[in-house]
């Protein structure tokens, strides 16, 4: 890499991005802070009385940390961009009976898209962007672009959420927490520097929207399509649902079935007839376990793997690595065989890693299972 550039840190008000800014300043970088407002209750909320986590405290924490570090903090409002590029497409995705991950798209399109471009416009083309993500960038030889790898703190690895970034985007980013061993170490550094957020809980829920009951929130923006809950084996109608798009495959909680001797799990969704098919717990292996899949719309960070290559795969952030093999490619449809696994819902991300699980290769959308 060239000489240390100026860096703008995306400060969320959380402890991770705060310590990221601290580490960069300790390393001699010229550091600037930036806070993004990507959800405006007045513009985006249908119900202004809805309960949600206040973001004002996050901004206050970001300002307090910036003051301690003696760095300027710029506040950007990207609410319109988030609405147009993330939230509305996500709602359309759900309406089509697909489950996506808005955080993955948010990183690609907002944090390291809109925000990165705005920062370069305001601070100059030579400026880099940093965040509090747990990930590692590795530069090898004369390669002009870095590789995305799992950080030292494997438990906090967030490469899943960064898997759709291009190598051109990655070249503009710094991940200061890549070599930090634990979250406890991050909190210790924050406490020693008197950061007010040193013991703050990590954020959960949809990117930038905060903590709330996901189903209740989403249903305000989707058309309700009531339908029957049906036993896939004998076509018995077991109950009523409020919309197949609100359920994921293998889901048990929230399935409106009572008076049965076995637990039921969602195993199929028919959006055209608004039918939610369920199977008994004893039938899960038959209907919900597969050893192959088709993935499309893949973005490979560097070179595309060859047919026959062995990879590691992940279908959700909290999921374990499974071994897979690229069997064939036909018109951008990638067919993989893999270890038997509970099938994810269409639209979820399939993220690919090197054979040893250390290097993130890219990600695509899970289309269907192959039994």
- 288-369 is classed CATH 2.40.30.10: yes
- Give the span between the Cα atoms of 90 and 97, in whole angstroms: 11
Confidence (pLDDT) at 246: 84
Q: What pLDDT was estimated at residue 253?
A: 87
Average pLDDT value over all residues in the chain: 91
- Reported confidence tier of residue 56, pLDDT bands at 50, 70, 90: confident
Model pLDDT, residue 126: 95
pLDDT of residue 172: 98
Please tell me which residue in 207, 279, 312, 360 is annotated as part of the active site. Answer: 207
Give the residue-averaged pLDDT of 182-207: 89
User: Residue 204's pLDDT is what?
Assistant: 62
Report in angstroms the alpha-carbon separations of 272 from 137, 140, 239, 245, 276: 44, 50, 18, 11, 11
Residue 93, pLDDT score? 87
Mean pLDDT of 178-193: 98
| Band (225; pLDDT cuts 50, 70, 90) | confident
Active-site pick, 52, 88, 98, 106: 106
pLDDT in tens, 84-95: 999 999 988 888
**Catalytic annotation present for 106:** yes
What's the mean pLDDT in 251-268? 89
Q: In the block, which residue shows the tokens 């004998």?
A: 234
Among all chains, which residue has been given the structure tokens 């197949």?
244
Write down the pLDDT at residue 39.
85
The CATH class, in words, for 221-285 is mainly beta
Tell me the pLDDT band of 206, cut-offs 50, 70 and 90: low
Q: Where are the domains of the chain?
A: 6-215, 221-285, 288-369
The closest alpha carbon to 225, from 96, 44, 78, belongs to 96
Can 279 be counted among the known catalytic residues? no
Instruction: Say what the pLDDT of residue 22 is.
Output: 99
State the pTM of this model: 0.91
What pLDDT score was predicted for residue 350? Answer: 97
The pLDDT of residue 257: 86
For residue range 294-339, what is the model confidence (pLDDT) as tens digits? 999 999 999 999 999 999 999 999 889 999 999 999 999 999 999 9
Q: What pLDDT was estimated at residue 43?
A: 61
In this predicted structure, the answer to whether residue 47 has a pLDDT above a threshold of 60 is no
The pLDDT of residue 261 is 86
Q: Is the pLDDT of residue 53 over 60?
A: no
pLDDT-derived band at 212, boundaries 50, 70, 90:
low
* Nearest residue to 271 via CA among 295, 254, 247, 290: 247
Q: Over range 224-244, report the average pLDDT.
A: 92
Report the pLDDT value the prediction gives residue 354, as an integer from 0 to 100.
Answer: 98
Asked if the 6-215 domain carries CATH number 3.40.50.620, the reply is yes
35 closest CA partner among 17, 59, 7, 61? 59
Give residue 207's pLDDT: 62
Q: 111, exposed or middle or buried, with CB in 10 Å at 0-12, 13-18, 19+?
A: buried
Residue-level pLDDT at 213: 63
- The pLDDT > 70 percentage for the chain reads 91
> DSSP alpha helices (H): ranges in 183-249?
183-192, 214-219
Give mean pLDDT, residues 287-293: 97
């Amino acid at each position: 890499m060239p000489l240390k550039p100026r860096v703008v840190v995306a400060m969320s008000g959380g402890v991770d991005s705060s310590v990221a800014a601290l580490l960069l300043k300790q390393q001699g970088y010229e550091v600037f802070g930036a806070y993004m407002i990507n959800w405006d209750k007045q513009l985006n909320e249908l119900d202004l009385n809805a309960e949600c986590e206040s973001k004002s405290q996050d901004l206050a924490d970001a300002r307090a940390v910036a003051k301690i570090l003696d760095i300027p903090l710029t506040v950007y409002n990207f609410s319109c961009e988030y609405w147009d590029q993330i939230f509305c497409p996500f709602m359309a995705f759900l309406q089509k009976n697909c489950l996506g991950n808005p955080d993955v798209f948010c990183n690609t399109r907002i944090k390291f898209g809109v925000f990165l471009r705005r920062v370069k416009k305001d601070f100059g083309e030579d400026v880099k962007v940093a965040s509090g993500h747990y990930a590692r960038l590795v530069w090898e030889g004369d390669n002009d672009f870095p590789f995305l790898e799992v950080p030292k703190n494997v438990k906090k690895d967030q490469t899943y959420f960064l898997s759709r970034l291009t190598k051109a985007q990655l070249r503009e980013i710094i991940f200061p927490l890549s070599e930090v061993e634990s979250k406890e170490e991050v909190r210790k550094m924050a406490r020693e520097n008197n950061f007010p957020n040193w013991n703050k809980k990590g954020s959960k829920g949809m990117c930038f929207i905060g903590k709330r009951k996901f189903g209740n929130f989403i249903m305000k923006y989707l058309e309700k399509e009531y339908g029957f809950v049906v036993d896939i084996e004998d076509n018995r109608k077991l109950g009523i649902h409020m919309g197949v798009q609100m359920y994921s495959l293998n889901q048990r909680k929230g399935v409106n079935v009572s008076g049965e001797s076995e637990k039921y799990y969602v195993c199929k969704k028919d959006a055209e007839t608004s039918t939610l098919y369920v199977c008994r717990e004893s039938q899960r292996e038959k209907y919900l376990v597969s050893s192959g899949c088709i993935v499309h719309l893949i973005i490979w960070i560097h070179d595309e793997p060859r047919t026959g290559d062995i990879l590691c795969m992940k279908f959700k952030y909290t999921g374990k690595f499974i071994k897979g093999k690229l069997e064939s490619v036909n018109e951008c449809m990638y067919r993989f065989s893999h270890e038997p696994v509970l099938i994810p819902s269409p639209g979820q991300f399939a993220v690919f890693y090197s054979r040893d699980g250390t290097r993130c290769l890219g990600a695509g959308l899970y289309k269907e299972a192959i039994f």
